[in-house]
Structure 1
């Protein structure tokens, strides 16, 4: 009885800390996108897509696919196909659909936005999947803390990485002017996400401790590469903001001081200082101005790249809003 009670406590703690860790991971990803934050409503929709809709669709389609596969194959081949082929394909298709659905939105500017959107969907899915695993292992008598350690910490960013990689390539496709290259980038991004997912599942399911170690090492390396890539994307985003906002300084729309604050690496620190020195209203005003100006710069870049008149309307609307803040 004491073992059951101990495992139940582990279950409760695993669910609680699993939610906290998911929120922490999302905060890190949100922090990386420091110059133009994505709309909270859109991120919330994507998170719910990953946390609610994708698991439901995945369960239905995975069970159906496994039923068909069981007619043709059985035993270990069926288990391998289920874990390493069916599950990755079904899950990446439905997670990817969430990101693909918003690729035409004007808020989706570049590869960094794709990373944020894709990772948000992945974190939503991972949270639900992990909680289901916690309950399943508790019912089966498996120590839940070990499951929590592996799924929420060692491999806690897996699904965020898989769908984030797809989002990055969708972002690269969006900024490309070549129609064929857009398709190539999108297909390659999905294939890469799918292969990462499938190889992870195969390694941890069929190759014992060596497979887990290999997958954990690859996971850590991929996280490091993605973070370095995000900072590289931030560097270019900052460069574009400096370039396209300088015209607004010359036109008299904004001051040079505000211009420098928008692209500063320490912009969040400066806004925190405004919060403590001048209060919430001044902080909200400064934050709103920075977001609007960063958005203005990126919309100008998008307009010059595509010539889409919808961006031109955005540019004029943002300028009008900035004038009201002056």
Structure 2
């Protein structure tokens, strides 16, 4: 494969998934420059994560459970969550529950895209292996982002249960990401038969969350009233 072909195949899944979730926003699509900004922040996040994970491995060892839930999922999802919370959570453009999904997915897919590019070049990947990564690791990051963003959106607009949803927005992506990684590390010969049902469940739950977040949009009511008036 040529250099351009490898790069395109590695980048395309992340960009396609981001476009998919971006266009799922029914009522008020987010400013594209903010979405691109969060995607780039996700790319930049790869470098500190690599350094910190190496340090954590030296300190904590490589026990599959510790590696999956703390070194991999815990560190990655916490830094993604922190980035979204600090940069965009209080931003004026975050004005409906679905926006949390858009921005969390943008960060997650920025991270997954560079990770995929690095993997492709270090392992001289074929189209088949990159297709596998598109279906599993890259889409997995997107779905963990949906879970995170859905609960961040609920936290932003449900003041009564804000702390609970903020906790869910961090804990649930760590759980699902950790479960996925642990499965890959421990199910040696039959991991694919476990990973595919897990991804199917995550996709179904994510589509439900996408629809649910859109249904809770305050802009849905406003637009409905405008249509009635016209």
The TM-score normalised by the length of structure 2 is 0.89
Query: 8 Å contact 1:111–1:233 — kept in the other structure?
Result: yes
Q: Secondary structure at the match of 1:157?
A: helix
RMSD, matched Cα: 2.2
Q: Residue 113 of structure 2 is aligned with which of 112, 127, 133?
A: 127
Q: Residue 31 of structure 1 is aligned with which of 20, 23, 29?
A: 23
Match of 2:82 in 1: 97
Q: Secondary structure at the match of 1:208?
A: coil
- 1:45 matches 2:37: yes
Match of 1:67 in 2: 58
- 1:117 matches 2:112: no
Partners of 1:124 and 1:15 in 2: how far apart? 14
Match of 2:159 in 1: 177
- 1:87 matches 2:69: no
Aligned pairs, number: 228
Q: 1:69 to 1:232 in 2, by over 3 A?
A: closer
Query: 8 Å contact 1:80–1:202 — kept in the other structure?
Result: yes
Partners of 2:209 and 2:101 in 1: how far apart? 10
> Where does 1:1-326 land on structure 2 (aligned, <5 Å)?
9=1, 13-52=5-44, 54-70=45-61, 77=63, 80-101=65-86, 102-138=88-124, 144-178=126-160, 181-237=161-217, 239-243=220-224, 245=226, 249=229, 256=230
Partners of 1:147 and 1:134 in 2: how far apart? 9
Q: Could you list the per-position Cα deviations for residues 125-176 of structure 1 after superposition, in whole angstroms to 9, with x for gaps in the alignment? A: 11001111112222xxxx5334312211344311111122111101101111
Query: 8 Å contact 1:174–1:182 — kept in the other structure?
Result: yes
Q: Could you list the per-position Cα deviations for residues 54-112 of structure 1 after superposition, in whole angstroms to 9, with x for gaps in the alignment? A: 10110121111112124xxxxx62x5533443111111111111211211112112331
Q: Which has the higher contact order (CA 8 A, sep 6+)?
A: 2
Query: 8 Å contact 1:112–1:233 — kept in the other structure?
Result: yes
Q: Could you list the per-position Cα deviations for residues 272-325 of structure 1 after superposition, in whole angstroms to 9, with x for gaps in the alignment? A: xxxxxxxxxxxxxxxxxxxxxxxxxxxxxxxxxxxxxxxxxxxxxxxxxxxxxx
Question: Unaligned 5+ residue runs, structure 1?
Answer: 1-8, 71-75, 250-255, 257-326
Partners of 1:232 and 1:19 in 2: how far apart? 29
Question: Post-superposition shift, 1:45?
Answer: 1.1
Query: 8 Å contact 2:69–2:175 — kept in the other structure?
Result: no
Partners of 2:145 and 2:212 in 1: how far apart? 19
The TM-score normalised by the length of structure 1 is 0.64
